[in-house]
Structure 1
Amino acid sequence: MNTSSKRNNKPLLVGLTGGIGSGKSTVARLFVALGVPVFQSDEEARQITDTDGTVRKAITDAFGEVYNGSVLNRQLMAEKVFNNPNALKQLNAIVHPAVGKKFAQWVEQHHSFPVLLKEAAILIESGAHVGVDQIILVKADEQTRIQRVMKRNGWTEDEVRSRMSRQLSDSEKEAYADFVITNNEEPLIPQVIAILEQLKSPA
C-alpha cells in the first residue's frame, strides 16, 4: 500500500484495530499524544445509537423496545444478538453506515492533518478496512488479553472467550495488517513512534 504522508493532498487514513483486551485504546491514546487525531468508531457507535433518531427507530423496529428512556439498553441488546449472527448482522447494517457517515464528516473536518487514525474493534470484520489506506494491528497473547478484560470488566473467563470467539483471531487479522504492535510486556511508545515515522515519510 501507499505509505506517503498524503494521498493527493488528502490525509493518509489509517485503521487501528485489535481484539478485546489487546490494548488498542491505549495505543490510540499514544497516537493522540503525538498529535494524530483519532476517530473512535466504537464510542461514536454508542453515541449514535443514543442520539440519532433514525438509528433509534430502525433498531426499535427491528428488535422491539430496547431503550431505557433515551439510552439504548446495551445489556438487553447484547442478549438479543448473542449467538445470533443474523441479528448481529442486522444491527451492524443499521449502525455501521451511520458511523461511516460520521467518519467521512470527521475526515473533512481534519483534512489538514497528514495522518488520521480510525480506531475500531471490528474494523476488518465490518468491512470498514476497505475505506482506509493502512492498517495497524495491536495484538497480545490470548491469556494476557483474557486477564486484562476479566480485571477491567469483571467478566468471567468464559464471557471473555465468548466475546473473543466473535472476532477474528490475531493471525487472521495479520493478513490485513501493514503494521503490527505487540502489547504484552513490550514498550509501546517506541513501536508507535516508529510506525508514525513511516506513515509520515515520503514514498
Structure 2
Amino acid sequence: MSRPLILGLTGSIGMGKSTVAQMFRAAGVPVFDADAIVHDMQGPGGILVAPIEAAFPGSTGPDGVLRGKLGAQVFADPAALARLEAIVHPSVAASRQAFLLEHAGEGIVVFDIPLLFEKGGVSQVDRVVVVSAPAEVQRTRVLARPGMTPDKFAHILALQMPDADKRARADYLIDTGTGLARTEAEVRALVARLRDERGGVPCQAPRRD
C-alpha cells in the first residue's frame, strides 16, 4: 500500500530549521514537529509530567515541566539525559505513528527532528533534508537567544553531529544564509520536484544508513 514519502528535516542549532519547517507547511506539506510534541506532552496536564517528576524530583510544577530545573539535572550528565530520553521517546514515537496514519493519503510529509542523525531517526525516513548556514551566521543567531552563553553553545554543538557531516549525508540541502525569499524558493522548488517525481507511485522503503 502506498504511503507518503517521508522527508527527515534536520539541522544544527541556529541553522533555521524551524523556519524551513514552516515553509514546508506553507507549501502544503504536513510537518510532524518532534519538539512541539514534546513541549505539549511536558505542559500542564501533559502525559510526560508525572513520569519526569518521578525520575527527576522537583523538575515539574503546576505549569508542567520546569525546563530550567530539568535542564539543571540533565545538563552535562549523559546518564541522566539517557533516562530522560527513555521516558520521552516512546511517547513521541506513538505520536509520530498517529501522524502518519492521519496523513496516509498525502504524497509527502516531513518529520522535523533536530537530532535525526545523532539518535538514529534517519532509519525512519526516506530522504533527508539538511538545513544549514555559514558558521558565523549560526553563531550570531544562537548567541542572540535569551540565556545563551558561548559555553552553553559550545556544549550543545558538542552533542550534535558537525554541520559538515550532516551536509555530506543530506539528500537535499537548504541554505538559510541567503535570505528568507531565496530559502523559501528553494523549499517550494523541492516540494514541486518531489510531487512531480512521486506521480502516485508508492515511495521507497525507509533508509537504513
Alignment partner, residue 149 of structure 2: 156
SS in structure 1 at match of 2:144: helix
CA distance in 2, matches of 1:199, 1:75: 41
Alignment partner, residue 130 of structure 1: 123
Please list, as runs of the form range in 1=range in 2, the aligned pairs for 1:50-199 lying within 5 A after superposition. Answer: 50=43, 51-53=45-47, 55-186=48-179, 187-199=182-194
CA distance in 1, matches of 2:118, 2:86: 12
CA distance in 2, matches of 1:189, 1:84: 38
CA deviations over 1:47-99 (Å, ceiling 9, x no partner): 1123443x333322322231012410101111111111111111111111111
CA contact (8 A) 1:49 1:95 kept: no
Q: Which runs of 5+ in 1 are unaligned?
A: 1-7
**How far off is 1:200 after superposition?**
1.7
Q: Which runs of 5+ in 2 are unaligned?
A: 199-209
Instruction: Please identify runs of 4+ aligned residues in structure 1 that moved more than 4 A.
Output: none
**How far off is 1:136 after superposition?**
0.3
Aligned partner letter, 1:201: D
The TM-score with structure 1 as length reference comes to 0.88
**Partner of residue 20 from structure 2, selected from 27, 41, 49:** 27
**Partner of residue 30 from structure 2, selected from 37, 40, 46:** 37
CA distance in 2, matches of 1:19, 1:41: 15
CA contact (8 A) 2:49 2:64 kept: no
CA distance in 2, matches of 1:30, 1:70: 30
Distance 1:190 1:70, change over 3 A: closer
**How far off is 1:172 after superposition?**
2.1
Aligned-residue CA RMSD (Å): 1.7
CA distance in 2, matches of 1:89, 1:125: 13
SS in structure 1 at match of 2:42: helix
**Corresponding pairs, count:** 195
**How far off is 1:154 after superposition?**
4.7
CA distance in 2, matches of 1:79, 1:122: 20
Query: Which one is further off, 40-49 or 153-162?
Result: 153-162
Q: Percent identity?
A: 32
Aligned partner letter, 1:42: D
CA distance in 1, matches of 2:23, 2:193: 16
CA contact (8 A) 2:4 2:107 kept: yes
